[in-house]
């Protein structure tokens, strides 16, 4: 099972990176575990062949970002790619931003951006928005685990960042972030976020601006972690070594259960196991290979996906 962590470059789509790996490996069976917009950089987790069966589970992992949120204007796409559509004279003070951030920790729903892949009656929101026919999008469930202000500058600053015990931080030495071409010298907050699956950071920028009585857009974004996979583990696209794969058991955040040969045979037959576990569980064979993903109710494990390659 082959999993790769790559650092998606600025300006490329997630699909561009998937296509690159398809050509490199000579297979169409390549998927990723969460889209990054063209103007975002950072961790993109790619699954190949049998590993694509893990995509639904890895897509549900929490994600960490460092976001550059600029105040004073809003764009049609809510990032630096779109045209400026609204302006505000309000420039929030640092203390106002610090006071506003904790409210996101209790937020349970958020309206996605008009330029997003969310579908309404089979139509993708961004396709309608490009035609000037913005759809009425319903709020979607979101989860903000951590939100912290790292810096506040008169304009976007492409800091260096590095991992720490408390998550990724601005550092004198470390990964140099590449930001999109700035739309202007707008005051910009650098914010670290840890969020659940399906949370749009562009929507966060929009809502933070509104909450502060201003307008805002996402001036830059780097994804620093997906689950247990950090940016420090990611390979550069141009120099990707196909031999450097990630072990699925080191990528998955859920607990694992080791099975006997008899239990592995039962799993292959789809038989629930009387193991008192709760939630998502990775089932591992005698050779420490991933055999299946299962979900427990506290009394037994229901098999959700089987990997015959690991049996």
CATH of domain 63-107+142-226: 3.30.2350.10
pLDDT of residue 288: 86
- Nearest CA among 38, 41, 66, 37 for reference residue 159: 66
The two three-digit tokens of residue 21, written as one number? 């790996």
First to last CA, the chain: 12
pLDDT of residue 127: 72
Give CA separation, 209 vs 57, 110, 196, 212, in Å.
Answer: 33, 14, 21, 5
297 is catalytic: no
pLDDT of residue 49: 92
pLDDT of residue 309: 66
Q: What is the DSSP string of 45-110?
A: EEEEGGGGGGHHHHHTS-EEEEEEEEESEEETTSBTTSPEEEE-S----HHHHHHHGGGGGG--EE
The three-point CA angle 203-38-230 to 5° equals: 80
8 Å CB contact between 59 and 34:
yes
Q: Where in the chain is the domain with CATH 3.30.2350.10?
A: 2-59+229-248, 63-107+142-226
Give CA separation, 229 vs 3, 64, 163, 234, in Å.
Answer: 11, 10, 12, 8
In the block, residue with structure tokens 């929490």: 62
> 2-59+229-248 belongs to which CATH class?
alpha beta
In the block, residue with structure tokens 């390659």: 309
Q: What is the mean pLDDT of the chain?
A: 92
Q: Where in the chain is the domain with CATH 2.30.130.10?
A: 254-310
Of the residues 16, 37, 241, 247, only one is catalytic, namely 37
How many Cβ atoms are within 10 Å of 221's Cβ, its own excluded? 25
Beta strands 278-284 and 256-258 are parallel
> 254-310 belongs to which CATH class?
mainly beta
pLDDT of residue 138: 86
Q: Which tens digit of pLDDT belongs to each residue from 70-121? A: 999 999 999 999 999 999 999 999 999 999 999 999 999 999 888 777 777 6
Integer Cα distance of 22 and 41 in angstroms:
20
Low-confidence ranges of the chain (pLDDT < 70): 121, 126, 128-129, 309-311
pLDDT of residue 1: 73
Integer Cα distance of 166 and 249 in angstroms:
23
The three-point CA angle 82-83-87 to 5° equals: 120
Q: How far is CA 132 from the centre of its chain?
A: 28
pLDDT of residue 114: 82
Per DSSP, 212 falls in state: T
pLDDT of residue 5: 97
pTM of the entire predicted model: 0.92
Integer Cα distance of 169 and 163 in angstroms:
6
Integer Cα distance of 80 and 4 in angstroms:
28
């Amino acid at each position: 099972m082959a999993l790769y962590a790559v650092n998606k470059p600025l300006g490329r789509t997630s699909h561009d990176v998937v296509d690159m790996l398809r050509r490199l490996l000579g297979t169409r069976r390549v998927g990723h575990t969460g889209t990054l917009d063209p103007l975002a950089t950072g961790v993109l987790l790619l699954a190949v062949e049998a590993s694509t069966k893990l995509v639904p589970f890895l897509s549900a992992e929490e994600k960490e970002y460092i976001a550059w949120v600029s105040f004073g204007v809003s764009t049609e796409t809510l990032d630096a790619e779109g045209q400026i559509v609204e302006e505000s004279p309000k420039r929030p003070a640092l203390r106002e931003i610090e006071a506003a951030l904790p409210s996101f920790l209790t937020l349970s729903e958020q309206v996605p951006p008009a330029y997003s892949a969310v579908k309404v009656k089979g139509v993708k929101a961004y396709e309608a928005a490009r035609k000037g026919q913005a759809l009425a999008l319903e709020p979607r469930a979101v989860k903000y685990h951590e939100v912290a202000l790292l810096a506040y500058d008169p304009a976007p600053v492409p800091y260096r960042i590095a991992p720490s015990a408390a998550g990724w931080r601005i550092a004198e030495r470390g990964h140099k972030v590449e930001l999109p071409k700035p739309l202007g010298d707008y005051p910009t907050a650098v914010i670290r976020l840890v969020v659940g699956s399906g949370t749009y950071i562009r929507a966060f920028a929009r809502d933070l601006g509104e909450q502060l009585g201003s307008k805002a857009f996402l001036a830059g974004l780097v994804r620093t972690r997906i689950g247990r996979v950090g940016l420090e583990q990611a390979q550069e696209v141009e120099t990707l070594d196909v031999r450097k794969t990630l072990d699925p058991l080191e990528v998955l955040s859920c607990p694992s259960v080791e099975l006997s040969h008899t239990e592995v045979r039962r799993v292959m037959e789809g038989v629930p196991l009387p193991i008192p576990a709760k939630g998502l569980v990775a089932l591992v064979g005698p050779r420490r290979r991933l055999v299946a993903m299962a979900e427990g109710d506290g009394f037994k494990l229901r098999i959700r996906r089987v990997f015959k390659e690991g049996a």
